[in-house]
Amino acid sequence: MMTIADLKNWFSKHRSEIKEEYFRFLRFASISADPAYRDRCEHCAQWLAEFMRQGGLQTELISTPGLPLVYAEDLSAGPQTPTLLLYGHYDVQPIDPAELWISPPFEPTERNGSVYARGAVDDKGQILYAIFAVLCWKKMGRSLPVNVKFCIEGEEESHSTGLFQMLEILGKKMRADYLLVVDFDQFDRDMPAVSLGGRGLVSLEVTLIGSHTDLHSGLYGGVAYNPNRALVELLAKLWDAEGRVQVPGFYDDVVDVPEKERSMFACRYGKEDYAKACGIEAFGGEKGRTLHEANCFRPTLELNGISGGYTGAGMKTVIPAAAQAKISCRLVPHQNPETIGRSIAQFLRQNAVPGMKIEVVQHEGDSAFRGERTSKLTQAIAKASSEVAGVECRYILSGASIPIVPELVKATGAQMVGMGYGLIDDEIHAPNEHFDMHRFEQGFLTVGRALALL
Ligand SMILES: [Zn+2]
């Protein structure tokens, strides 16, 4: 049996070597969004595959239509034993605005006990502690109690394009009983959490076209219907005064989750936290729903951008030829992204000013996902993380989406659980992303110990 003490011991003995590998991993500028960084992403994948191979895992660098996938496994526990698939990503977000970084984003630097670098948390720090947790079992000469597989992709920050296209082929290879997504947050400092789901997403772009060209607002004023006006009138019809989305069928598949079930998930932030963290004083959502409910259990419809006409310096008295809006929805379980997208498109077409030309583009969406609270992996992660922190772990839901997760669940047949030691102020996706070795170690201990509990 592997205890927390065994793992702690190993970690402290190998601390400097662990940190060295962590820093090496962080030095690759593996920005997946920018094609100019393609070779650096590939080098990062090669390094990671080699690192895992040297750790004693059967490792493959798998080409995809996008960036390569690092796949590794240890199936020595045998076919009678459950299989755990760990998911993470080696790609990172772009660094802009670059001038706001206090130290260079790809030269990991320690300040006040934190490691500053792009990817320090998301997701290099997180997936690396999970890799070390598995390798440590092998290095200590213990046989792994379950079969272990790793799927570490290079395009999580770029819609997982390559992995999506490979799932049909790779699904069988990655078949597992449990899927551990190591890309989530903890509840609060020294307060661990198990993440049991996220929302789905669907997005659309709508354009209203009133004329061939921009028009003089005097010569054509009172004649032409202004597309900007038509657009804001149209968009305003999307909600009623209570904040309920007016698109027919929008809530048809939404299950009203009773308070008792909702309260099994911890609420991380209240109005004061949002006001303090980002200055929010006006709150959206449907009337009569709590913030927790609105953020985790209800779908949303948001206007992500509106444009049309002249927005430069000074005035230009113009009736624009066209106006556009970008719309997206966060979806809850049972809502079908394609159906919801189609309903919104139809609503927009039916409610636009007669005669105004309307174009709607619907992008591919993804579904919400949920883990099982009673699954063995959920219980193992909950118990391990509670032991590590010395406090009871929380169960949480995320309002955000990880598009690949529901598809991975489908392709591999596994039950999902999310874990992580990120915090809201780690500045992931922003300048000065940082993580600390204390939380890195907590993550390592949690995964290492959970293996023993599976
Ligand atoms: Zn991530």
181 C-alpha to ligand 1 centroid (Å): 10
- Does 287 reside within a domain? no
Q: In this predicted structure, what is the pLDDT of residue 201?
A: 96
428 C-alpha to ligand 1 centroid (Å): 9
Q: What CATH number should be reported for the domain holding residue 237?
A: 3.30.70.360
Pair type for strands 415-419 and 178-182: parallel
Q: Are residues 174 and 314 in the same domain?
A: no
Q: Indicate the residue among 309, 342, 362 that finishes a domain.
A: 362
pLDDT in tens, 55-88: 999 999 999 999 999 999 999 999 999 999 999 9
- Does 424 reside within a domain? yes
Q: Are residues 26 and 125 in the same domain?
A: yes
Give residue 361's identity as a one-letter amino acid code: V
| Contact status, residue 194 vs residue 396, Cβ threshold 8 Å | yes
Q: Are residues 352 and 397 in the same domain?
A: no
- Does 260 reside within a domain? no
272 C-alpha to ligand 1 centroid (Å): 27
50 C-alpha to ligand 1 centroid (Å): 22
316 C-alpha to ligand 1 centroid (Å): 43
88 C-alpha to ligand 1 centroid (Å): 7
Q: Are residues 156 and 204 in the same domain?
A: no
| Contact status, residue 93 vs residue 118, Cβ threshold 8 Å | yes
57 C-alpha to ligand 1 centroid (Å): 23
127 C-alpha to ligand 1 centroid (Å): 10
Q: What CATH number should be reported for the domain holding residue 63?
A: 3.40.630.10
3-state secondary structure the chain: CCCHHHHHHHHHHCHHHHHHHHHHHHCCCCECCCHHHHHHHHHHHHHHHHHHHHCCCEEEEECCCCCCEEEEEECCCCCCCCEEEEEEECCECCCCCHHHCCCCCCCCEEECCEEECCCCCCCHHHHHHHHHHHHHHHHCCCCCCCEEEEEEECCHHHCCHHHHHHHHHHCCCCCCCEEEEECCECCECCECEEECEECEEEEEEEEEECCCCCEECCCCCCCCCCHHHHHHHHHHCCECCCCCECCCCCCCCCCCCCHHHHCCCCCCCCHHHHHHHHCCCCCCCCCCCCHHHHHHCCCEEEEEEEEECCCCCCCCCEECCEEEEEEEEEECCCCCHHHHHHHHHHHHHHHCCCCCEEEEEECCCECCEECCCCCHHHHHHHHHHHHHHCCCCEEECCCCCCCHHHHHHHHHCCEEEEECCECCCCCCCCCCCEEEHHHHHHHHHHHHHHHHHC
147 C-alpha to ligand 1 centroid (Å): 24
116 C-alpha to ligand 1 centroid (Å): 16
Q: Are residues 228 and 323 in the same domain?
A: yes
Rounded to the nearest 10 degrees, what angle do helices 4-13 and 124-139 cross at?
100
48 C-alpha to ligand 1 centroid (Å): 17
- Does 278 reside within a domain? no
pLDDT in tens, 126-141: 999 999 999 999 999 9
289 C-alpha to ligand 1 centroid (Å): 29
Q: Are residues 328 and 410 in the same domain?
A: no
What's the whole-model pTM score? 0.91
Q: Are residues 42 and 109 in the same domain?
A: yes
Q: Which structural domain range is residue 329 located in?
A: 200-254+299-362
Rounded to the nearest 10 degrees, what angle do helices 437-453 and 4-13 cross at?
140
292 C-alpha to ligand 1 centroid (Å): 23
Q: What value does the mean pLDDT of the chain take?
A: 97
- Does 432 reside within a domain? yes
Q: In this predicted structure, what is the pLDDT of residue 7?
A: 98
Q: Are residues 125 and 189 in the same domain?
A: yes
Q: Are residues 92 and 35 in the same domain?
A: yes
Q: How many domains does the chain have?
A: 2
* List of the chain residues with pLDDT < 50: none
Q: Are residues 244 and 98 in the same domain?
A: no
- Does 246 reside within a domain? yes
Residue 382 main-chain phi, psi, to 5 deg: -60, -45
Q: Which residues lie closer than 8 Å to 176 by C-beta, 6 or more apart?
A: 82, 83, 84, 85, 147, 149, 412, 413, 414
Chain CA centroid to CA 71, Å: 20
Q: Indicate the residue among 362, 378, 399 that finishes a domain.
A: 362
Tokens linked to 380: 């193992």
156 C-alpha to ligand 1 centroid (Å): 7
Tokens linked to 191: 């307060």
Q: Report the Cα–Cα distance between both ends of the chain, in Å, rounded.
A: 11
| Contact status, residue 448 vs residue 388, Cβ threshold 8 Å | no
Q: Which residues are registered as beta bridge partners of 434?
A: 116
| Contact status, residue 348 vs residue 198, Cβ threshold 8 Å | no
Q: In this predicted structure, what is the pLDDT of residue 277?
A: 82
